[in-house]
A = this chain, B = another copy of it.
């Protein structure tokens, strides 16, 4: 039985979306056991009248609420009975629990996971790895996308190793093509960190390093993993999401500006719906935190039930494929220079 904690508070659609997502995941995976974290009375109410396998679902009472403006360090120190922090502590203390899924505050989740869970032996810095859809129907992972605003070349190599194993084990991508985010394709582009990382990535056996990537090529389908510092990785992911959303909004506005366009759009209704669905990040799960001693998956704050279900699936596959052990073994092959 694989036991996964689901934080049912903190997201915009809590507790409805996490509960519904958890029930769907339970139905799809017969060896999955879920612990719902949150206010017990509210969770009982949410579960009322719903059909599910009661022998594989449990509620863990965690009534404290985390405010929007609370500092991550305060949350970790003071809010031990919040659904998120209780989840992290249980994950740390219970050997039979494998993972935590949360749609709450990113800052609190990262800080809590780093302080309370610790890292896989050898890993210098855990890193986020969200997934985006590419234009040819594939996916691309970006690691790091915000956990570390400052990095060294040694960090970047570890991000590449972890993300590569993640793509292979969770998404079945054979020998993932790894690129380094840079301001140009040539090996000598960027700052010292990038030039050093280029060398390290090249000499890392078992890594399919294909060189530097310019950010305009992210969605081209030519790469499976893009390695970046958390600052520019964050810019890469959020700019892509932002541009796609703004363009769709603009398209919609234009369509509604004229009767003729509305008629045209009516004929293309299914196509627009498909495009929207294709670009909907809810379908691509959450951003996994790679490198912590146990599995943590961060869903978008606005996650619906489908998105939460995908996050649980990601956590489940990470555990089933024994990703942490593989990361530890691979990382151990390389010298690391710090921490």
What are the residues of chain B within 8 A of A48 when measuring CB–CB?
none
**Please, which residue of chain B has its CB at the minimum distance from the CB of A150?**
B191
Instruction: Assess whether A181 is in contact with B267, with CB atoms less than 8 Å apart.
Output: no
Could you say which of B230, B240, B264 contacts A265, with CB atoms under 8 Å apart? B264
Q: Say yes or no: A239-B218 contact (C-beta < 8 A), given A183-B149, A268-B264.
A: yes
Taking CB atoms and an 8 Å cut-off, the chain A residues in 255-281 that contact chain B are: 255, 258, 260-261, 263-268, 271, 274-275, 278-279
Q: Name the segment of A156-164, A242-250, A306-314, A328-336 touching the other chain.
A: A242-250
Cβ of A238 under 8 Å from chain B: yes
Instruction: Assess whether A231 is in contact with B191, with CB atoms less than 8 Å apart.
Output: yes
What are the residues of chain B within 8 A of A146 when measuring CB–CB?
183
Interface of A is mostly: helix
Q: Name the segment of A13-21, A117-125, A168-176, A209-217 touching the other chain.
A: A209-217
Cβ of A235 under 8 Å from chain B: yes
Cβ of A232 under 8 Å from chain B: yes
What is the minimal beta-carbon distance from A156 to any residue of chain B, in angstroms? 13
What are the residues of chain B within 8 A of A220 when measuring CB–CB?
246
Cβ of A78 under 8 Å from chain B: no
**Please, which residue of chain B has its CB at the minimum distance from the CB of A230?**
B183
Cβ of A28 under 8 Å from chain B: no
What is the minimal beta-carbon distance from A125 to any residue of chain B, in angstroms? 14
Instruction: Assess whether A236 is in contact with B234, with CB atoms less than 8 Å apart.
Output: no
What are the residues of chain B within 8 A of A266 when measuring CB–CB?
264
Instruction: Assess whether A267 is in contact with B271, with CB atoms less than 8 Å apart.
Output: no
Instruction: Assess whether B239 is in contact with A258, with CB atoms less than 8 Å apart.
Output: no
Q: How far is the CA of A9 from the CA of B214 in the complex (A)?
A: 25
Could you say which of B245, B249, B267 contacts A267, with CB atoms under 8 Å apart? B267
Instruction: Assess whether B245 is in contact with A216, with CB atoms less than 8 Å apart.
Output: yes
What is the minimal beta-carbon distance from A230 to any residue of chain B, in angstroms? 7
**Please, which residue of chain B has its CB at the minimum distance from the CB of A258?**
B271
Cβ of A190 under 8 Å from chain B: yes
What is the minimal beta-carbon distance from A67 to any residue of chain B, in angstroms? 14
What is the minimal beta-carbon distance from A243 to any residue of chain B, in angstroms? 4
What is the minimal beta-carbon distance from A226 to any residue of chain B, in angstroms? 11
Other than the given A150-B191, A215-B242, A255-B271, 5 more pairs (CB < 8 A) read: A135-B246, A216-B238, A219-B246, A235-B235, A254-B271
